[in-house]
Amino acid sequence: MSELRRNILHCIGNTSLIALRNIVPANGARILLKLESENPTGSMKDRMALAMIEAAEADGRLKPGGAVVEYTGGSTGVSLSLVCAVKGHPLHIVTSDAFAQEKLDHMKILGAKLEIVPSDGGRMTGKLTRDMIEAARIIALEIGAFWTDQMKNEDQIVAYHAMAEEIWADTAGRINGFVQSVGTAASLRGIGEGLRRHNEQVRVIAVEPSESAVLSGDEPGAHKIDGVGAGFVVPLWRHDLADEIERVSTGEAIAMAMRLAREEGLFAGTSTGANVIAALRLAERLGSDATIVTVMCDTGMKYLRNYGAVHLPV
């Protein structure tokens, strides 16, 4: 008999870890995928949203019934919408038409008030990120809301330390590499730090869009991998943590997301497709005795309209 949970927030975390069966290199490492789609909103961002809100409640920055504001590409906003709905905090979200409509609809259904910042043809750019951040700052000042400010908020890192502990326990400490795409950089940093507390030899690989490979030293550009590639070096990024930075294009990420659905039965978003591309590259380098963990960041149900625009074959 399963445990009775006090509320939906107690269902966050402790997600499954499974091995890819068909999408594997011929002579490469075993690739394990952390199924963050099992979280209540279908995203790993549930972890960090809860951590940021609870930390602010604990130290008095967020009073009972106090308003919250955040800028987001969608998944963080949906997760904050869930947490704030349960805890009774009015939520103001700054987002854009560049992101999946399903996410925007989900936020509204959970009670968030949205401000939409227009994008450049539906593409993610550094200017769009900066415009959203400024809009959130102004709202926070005008209404006296607590601004979670995810790009700078280190309260979320503890949530990813806990995720690292789950990965370590589920692999019984047999992990040679960890691969994760970079949005705010909090998950890569928190999980990487957590794993290296156990074993300093774990290789940590960052993933970014090849069209906007700013962490690699390139100029910013536009891409359509939701939730990653801000277009500038984000404040929580640490160059000394990542052993390598892999560049993955939007086309590669979408194609791999489709393969995961058809060959593994795993329907995920584009950032997951990018993660698996980079994990396969690492798997070929590390060889058959190694184990690599990467993340299914969220469910593909958040991207149905976007994927439909790819003109999928019947």
Q: Quick check: 292 pLDDT over 60? A: yes
**To which residue do tokens 């209540």 refer?**
40
pLDDT (tens digit, 9 = 90+) per residue, 185-231? 999 999 999 999 999 999 999 999 999 999 999 999 989 888 898 88
Instruction: Return mean pLDDT, the chain.
Output: 93
pLDDT band for 310, please (50, 70, 90 cuts). Answer: low
Nearest to 129 by CA among 51, 43, 228: 228
Q: Is 271 a catalytic residue?
A: yes
Total-model pTM:
0.92
**Would you call 45 a catalytic residue per the annotation?**
yes
Q: Which of 34, 37, 43, 45 is catalytic?
A: 45
- The pLDDT of residue 101 is 87
Which one of the listed residues 37, 81, 96, 271 is annotated catalytic?
271
- For residue 314, pLDDT over 50 is answered with no
* Percent of the chain whose pLDDT exceeds 90: 81
278 neighbors 179 (Cβ within 8 angstroms): yes
pLDDT band at 2; cut points 50, 70, 90: low
User: What's the average model confidence in pLDDT over 155-178?
Assistant: 98
Going by C-alpha positions, the residue among 192, 86, 94 that lies closest to residue 149 is 94
Domains of the chain: residue spans and CATH? 8-40+155-308 (3.40.50.1100), 45-147 (3.40.50.1100)
pLDDT band at 305 (very low <50, low <70, confident <90, very high): confident
Bridge partners, residue 120, by sequence: 123
CA gap 219, 251 in Å, rounded:
19
pLDDT (tens digit per residue) in 51-106 = 999 999 999 999 999 999 999 877 899 999 999 999 999 999 999 998 888 889 99
The answer to whether residue 313 scores a pLDDT higher than 60 is no
Question: What is the mean predicted confidence (pLDDT) over 135-154?
Answer: 96
